[in-house]
Amino acid sequence: MAGRTEWIAVDWGTSNLRAWGIDAGGSITFAASSDKGMGRLEPSAFPAALTEVLTGHVERDGDPLDVLISGMAGARQGWREAPYLETPANLARLAAASVRPEIKGSRLSPRILPGICQREPGAEDVMRGEETQLLGVSALIKGFSGIVVMPGTHSKWVELDGRMVRRFATAMTGEIFEVLGTHSVLRHSVSGADDDGDRNEGFESGLNAGLARPEMLVSELFRIRPRALLSGVDPAWCSGFLSGLLIGAEIGGLRRWTSGGEIPLVGGKKLCSLYARGFAKLGISTRMVDATDATLAGLKAAREL
Amino acid sequence: MAGRTEWIAVDWGTSNLRAWGIDAGGSITFAASSDKGMGRLEPSAFPAALTEVLTGHVERDGDPLDVLISGMAGARQGWREAPYLETPANLARLAAASVRPEIKGSRLSPRILPGICQREPGAEDVMRGEETQLLGVSALIKGFSGIVVMPGTHSKWVELDGRMVRRFATAMTGEIFEVLGTHSVLRHSVSGADDDGDRNEGFESGLNAGLARPEMLVSELFRIRPRALLSGVDPAWCSGFLSGLLIGAEIGGLRRWTSGGEIPLVGGKKLCSLYARGFAKLGISTRMVDATDATLAGLKAAREL
């Protein structure tokens, strides 16, 4: 049974704000969320958004309360910029590198953790939020060294060695799926998709094509349209194919990063299971790490280090 | 000097309608166009659109006038469907396979040329309009046998042997450029691009990356954003990089189609010159064929065969 709230863990993304109360033993005392993500807020609106989401969960008055925040709140266009750590980056330094915006007259004492950037010419990249999940992975899987894959709108591939982030890459797979399915000629083939059986068949076919020929992506993508016209495959099949093709091309293109070891997949269960199918075809085993579990484990570890 | 209009050549695409009067010697007697492309017309509106664009150029009354049409007017959602020829397709059969919609009470006697489809499972593809340009290429470059590349919104790569289309593939390069630059996170990096010098540098860098690693496209694409954030490259550079990366990945992925021979590039001058730079990096020479020249040569050849 959870005790008194000792500190607050916050994941402040572009679209959402999520907060958890944590007691002295590390148990969750409450969970709260709102849609006041960084994308909707002016810098001056962050204090009120944080206060609002905590209303009813913590007393207005009392001793100073530590609030540890990861994610886009620390972006340049966020609450207060938390300058990036650079690769190779030691995740044990996250809390030490945090910034401390003040909320006047409040007991809330926020700290925003930094993201990580990679400045190597031709391999420039950035992350905000994932670094905290990676620290969580290092806490949840003791002694892990290898590749971590974080499927999503912008998938991250990360070479993690204990708490050191050696290098990483981002694939905009999820966003390409969304944008092509909504705004390109392919929208005619994928709209109204609703049959899960056909979707699964299409996914399998696309996954095989993407893994086998990631270099042919721009031509394999178009093929969805004539296939729908000529072979009569339905929108669910096409939507599955588009998803499988993009995920297959991501994994096929970045496979040189893998070295045979088990890959932690950090993200939502459904999406991670699609990636697991792709890796399985290369003979690579995976294990799922729930994204929220990783975030919470990372915030706890950051506070203790 | 051009003589009396003997017949009318028409290129009826999705966005535009273009018509040319041709005399007995093959010279152009007039050129006319309108924005009444297939995409804006119900089937019943085609006769009026054609009549309207010819007003002032041909007499209302007189002997029947042959109107040879290529392009999307023959699509299922066009004026009258002109069923596809199948690969391997003999372009000498285009006119014989045309359909003849009627315009009641008019001297105009339209024929719509068919497109070509490829039914091979996993390599399904379609074209409408390009087949006429390919017949034009075979007339303009006597005895040509090899690969023809037709850069555009949907680029076509075609194995052409005299008048036989052996096989073809489509890369949606132009549309991906448009859609990602307008609707994805990359729009923040490419919008307001106006410096041609930086665009050229970015194009060169993207072209090299795409040619070298076409299989890495989904991750190379994202990199534009952090590069803009970290290295301060401007929107013109990013827009050039996006264009170069996509064209490079198209050429790099499909390079196995090439066999060292000179490649005719059919399209607009500016876009074709960008593709020529890509092929030159692989040691492959190219020659430009203006898209309108190819269309007109194709319509003339189709009428004579």
Residue-wise pLDDT for A11-25, tens only, equals: 999 999 999 999 999
pLDDT at residue B270 greater than cutoff 80: yes
Closest-CA residue of A relative to B155 is: A219
Q: Which tens digit of pLDDT belongs to each residue from B167-209? A: 999 999 999 999 999 999 999 999 887 777 899 999 999 999 9
Residue among A218, A250, A257 with most chain B CBs within 10 A, to mutate:
A218
For chain A, positions 137-176, list CB contacts with chain B under 8 A: 154, 157, 169-173, 175-176
ipTM of model: 0.91
Q: What is the DSSP letter of A92?
A: G
CA atoms within 13 A on the CB side of A259: 7
What Rg, from alpha-carbon coordinates, does chain A have?
21
- Phi, psi (rounded to 5 degrees) for B76: -55, -40
Cβ separation of B126 and A226 shorter than 8 Å? yes
Q: Is the pLDDT of residue B305 over 90?
A: no
Instruction: Tell me which residues of chain B, numbers 193 to 252, contact chain A at a CB-CB cutoff of 8 Å.
Output: 209, 213-219, 221-223, 225-227, 229-231, 246, 249-250, 252
Pick the residue with more confidence: A215 or A195?
A215
| Average of per-residue pLDDT across A91-117 | 97
Rounded to 5 degrees, what are φ and ψ at B75? -75, 165
- Residue with more model confidence, A191 or B2: A191
Using CB atoms, which residue from A117, A125, A253 is nearest to B223? Answer: A125
Q: What is the pLDDT of residues A53-67, one digit of tens each?
A: 999 999 989 999 999
Query: What mean pLDDT value characterizes chain B?
Result: 95
What mean pLDDT comes out for the span A273-289? Answer: 98
Mean pLDDT across B278-289: 98
**pLDDT tens digits along A219-243:** 999 999 999 888 889 999 999 999 9
CA distance linking residue B293 with residue B269, whole number of Å: 12
Residue A1 pLDDT grade (very low, low, confident, very high; cuts 50, 70, 90): low
**Residue B125 backbone dihedrals phi, psi, to 5 degrees:** -160, 160
B1 pLDDT above the threshold of 90: no
Residues in chain B: 305
Cα distance between residue B9 and residue B66, in whole Å? 9
Residue type, A256: R
Q: Per the structure block, which two tokens stand in for A32?
A: 């709260």
**Strand B155-161 relative to strand B164-171: parallel, antiparallel, unpaired?**
antiparallel
H helices then E strands: how many in chain B? 10, 14
Alpha-carbon distance A65 to A58, whole Å?
Answer: 9
DSSP E strand stretches across B134-205: 145-150, 155-161, 164-171
pLDDT of residue A249: 98
Find, among A167, A147, A163, the residue nearest to A91 by Cα.
Answer: A163
Average pLDDT of chain A is: 95
> Looking at residue A293, what is its pLDDT?
97
**pLDDT of res. A217:** 97
Task: Identify the pLDDT of residue B45.
Answer: 97
Query: Above 90 in pLDDT, residue A193?
Result: no
Q: Which of B121, B154, B230 sits opposite A222 (nearest CB)?
A: B154
The burial of B242, by beta-carbon neighbours within 10 Å (0-12 exposed, 13-18 middle, 19 or more buried), is given as: buried
| Mean pLDDT, residues B284-302 taken together | 98
What is the spatial distance between Cα A119 and Cα B18, in angstroms, rounded to a whole number?
51
Q: Each residue of A201-234: b (16+ CB within 10 Å) or e?
A: bbbbbbbbbbbebbbbbbbbbbbbbbbbbbeebb
Q: Locate A210 and state its tokens.
A: 């993407």
* pLDDT at residue A122 in the model: 87
Question: What is the mean predicted confidence (pLDDT) over A140-163?
Answer: 97
Domains and CATH numbers, chain B: 1-114 (3.30.420.300), 129-305 (3.30.420.310)
